[in-house]
Amino acid sequence: MPAPTLLVPADPKAGYLAHKDEIDGAIHRVLDSGWYILGQEVAGFEKEFAAYIGVGNAIGVASGTDALEIALRSCGIGPGDGVITVSHTAVATVAAIELAGAIPILVDIDPCTYTMDPNRLEDTIKQQGAGRLKAIIPVHLYGHPADMAAIMDIAGRHGLSVIEDCAQSHGAAIGDRKTGTWGHLSAFSFYPTKNLGALGDGGAVVTNDPALAERLRQLREYGFRERYVSHLSGMNTRLDELQAAILRVKLQYLRTENARRRQIARIYGASLSGTTLVLPQLHSKVDHVFHLYVVRSAHRDGLKAFLKENSVGTSIHYPVPVHLQPAYRSRAVIGRGGLEHTEQVCREILSLPMYPQMTDEQVQRIGHLIARWDSQKGEAS
Ligand SMILES: *Cc1c(COP(=O)(O)O)cnc(C)c1O
């Protein structure tokens, strides 16, 4: 029997093939229009995405990293200002703070939700003093919302802006409010593997504040208010018409595809609940969108190797916390209490394959493989 083909952790091509005819049609519509930058497709997508999230304004930009940078700049945050975020995140979150000229201050996570621990946040604000601190960037990592009620309460008491990093949480919600509606502004990425993914780079900032929206529109194109006249020193970060047209197709399926991700998570949960693995936590008030399905094991590296031998590809999000990475470790500013949970979790996490086009059989096969490994590993070691 031939070896089963390798199951990949994420499959953006499957996301394209699932809607190929509609996407091809959208691409040709743009090619034939003769208008490729900031036209009807971007305007249409911005309107539809804002309506989906439940906010007043969406501004399309070139990537999620740019979305974070421009969001910071629109709040007037720049050199010397402090911005608090987590170290257990994509390096992009921290890179964007430095791109805006500001100083990242990193706090620990809650090891159950893998998101910013509000107690650490409060301690760190007290320790730093109000003066140089300007903003907080909570990250809804893996598709699980951060504790926004607590974070907004702390931010309000200390006069800080909140920018949500929603790069992994398109459609996730707390109660009936989606992520992206809690902070003053929120940044999304449409990198191909995200829950809402383009076929190239893309991003957006959303906000209910019309004045901020106006600044963002100017900042994304050289600070233009009218053409060729800069009123702010801006940047060039535009979502292009092709990606916007593709995103308009995929946005129509986001709700169904997020539901499918939750179904896959339930199948994993059913096969893995009796094992020694730590599974993703589900809280009743939270709508998790499972950008990633992340388990924890003290024998993570052994499990990863075992799955690879059995044609199941996995990844680690993320293997090295930002404050320990070569580019950042010499100047990382660590919040009070250190980053104990962050460092512990990085040694144990493993992202199993997760994308809407997986079949039930594929998910069950992986679940059973892991359960078998788990029951035998005591004898092997
Ligand atoms: C993907 C990602 C980003 C960056 O998005 P790009 O579009 O790749 O620039 C930022 N933050 C988080 C948490 C991400 O997962």
Residue with CA at minimum distance from ligand 1 atom 7: 64
218 and 309 within one domain: no
> Is the CB–ligand 1 distance for residue 314 below 6 Å?
no
> Is the CB–ligand 1 distance for residue 235 below 6 Å?
no
**Count of CB atoms situated within 10 Å of the CB of 117:** 24
**Count of CB atoms situated within 10 Å of the CB of 110:** 17
Q: Which domain holds residue 205?
A: 13-251
23 and 105 within one domain: yes
> Is the CB–ligand 1 distance for residue 89 below 6 Å?
yes
Q: DSSP state, 102?
A: -
356 and 328 within one domain: yes
> Does residue 131 belong to any structural domain of this protein?
yes
Distance CA 234, CA 181 (A): 25
309 and 160 within one domain: no
353 and 298 within one domain: yes
Residue ending a domain, choose from 251, 272, 292: 251
> Does residue 75 belong to any structural domain of this protein?
yes
> Does residue 117 belong to any structural domain of this protein?
yes
User: pLDDT per position in the chain (381 positions), as tens?
Assistant: 555 667 899 999 999 999 999 999 999 999 999 999 999 999 999 999 999 999 999 999 999 999 999 999 999 999 999 999 999 999 999 999 999 999 999 999 999 999 999 999 999 999 987 679 999 999 999 999 999 999 999 999 999 999 999 999 999 999 999 999 999 999 999 999 999 999 999 999 999 999 999 999 999 999 999 889 999 989 999 999 999 999 999 999 999 999 999 999 999 999 999 999 999 988 889 999 999 999 999 999 999 999 999 999 999 999 999 999 999 999 988 977 789 999 999 999 999 999 999 999 999 999 999 999 999 985 654
Nearest ligand 1 atom, CA 67: 9
258: domain CATH number is 3.90.1150.10
267 and 239 within one domain: no
> Is the CB–ligand 1 distance for residue 257 below 6 Å?
no
E strand segments, 149-235: 161-165, 173-174, 177-178, 185-189, 203-207, 224-226, 229-230
DSSP 7-43: BPS--HHHHHHTTHHHHHHHHHHHHHHT--BSSHHHH
> Does residue 177 belong to any structural domain of this protein?
yes
Q: How far is the CA of 292 from the centre of ligand 1 (A)?
A: 13
DSSP 269-333: HHHHTTSSSBPPP--TTEE---SSEEEE-TTHHHHHHHHHHTTB--B-S-SS-GGGSTTTTTTPE
179 and 221 within one domain: yes
Residue ending a domain, choose from 227, 251, 275: 251
Q: Where are the alpha helices (DSSP H) in 100-220?
A: 118-128, 148-158, 210-219
230 and 85 within one domain: yes
178: domain CATH number is 3.40.640.10
214 and 304 within one domain: no
Q: What angle do CA 311, 317, 321 make, to 5 degrees?
A: 140
> Does residue 69 belong to any structural domain of this protein?
yes
> Is the CB–ligand 1 distance for residue 169 below 6 Å?
no
259 and 208 within one domain: no
Quick one: which of 376, 377, 363, 359 has its CA closest to 18? 359
Residue ending a domain, choose from 226, 251, 276: 251
> Is the CB–ligand 1 distance for residue 195 below 6 Å?
no
> Does residue 357 belong to any structural domain of this protein?
yes
Distance CA 78, CA 311 (A): 47
261 and 163 within one domain: no
Tell me which of 168, 169, 188, 316 to substitute to probe ligand 1's pocket, judged by most ligand atoms within 8 Å of the beta carbon: 168
> Is the CB–ligand 1 distance for residue 93 below 6 Å?
yes
> Is the CB–ligand 1 distance for residue 191 below 6 Å?
yes
> Does residue 299 belong to any structural domain of this protein?
yes
131 and 217 within one domain: yes
> Does residue 7 belong to any structural domain of this protein?
no
Q: How far is the CA of 59 from the centre of ligand 1 (A)?
A: 16
Residue with CA at minimum distance from ligand 1 atom 4: 64
pTM above 0.95, yes or no: yes
**Number of domains composing the chain:** 2
